[in-house]
Amino acid sequence: MADYLPIIVMAALVVAFVFSSFVASRLLAPQRPNAAKQAPYESGIVPEYEPPERFPVKFYLVAMAFIVLDVEIVFLYPFATVFRDLGLFGIVAMAVFIFVLLIPFAYLLSVGALEWGPVQKVLSRGAGPLLRTRDRVLDPDAVPAEEEAA
Task: Flag whether 24 is in a domain.
Answer: no
Kindly report the pTM of this predicted structure.
0.40
The candidate with the shortest Cα–Cα distance to 69, out of 32, 121, 42, 106, is 106
Q: pLDDT value at position 124?
A: 60
Q: What is the CATH number of the domain that holds 97?
A: 1.20.58.1610
Task: Flag whether 43 is in a domain.
Answer: no
Task: Flag whether 11 is in a domain.
Answer: no
Task: Flag whether 105 is in a domain.
Answer: yes
- Please report which confidence band the pLDDT of residue 57 belongs to, taking 50, 70 and 90 as the band edges: confident
Task: Flag whether 22 is in a domain.
Answer: no
Task: Flag whether 23 is in a domain.
Answer: no
Q: pLDDT value at position 118?
A: 63
Q: DSSP assignment of 20-40, as one string?
A: HHHHHHHHHS-----HHHHSS
Domain total of the chain: 1
pLDDT score of 130 more than 80: no
pLDDT digit string, tens, across residues 89-100: 888 988 898 888
pLDDT digit string, tens, across residues 11-48: 999 999 999 999 999 999 888 888 766 666 666 566 67
Full domain range(s) for residue 92: 53-116
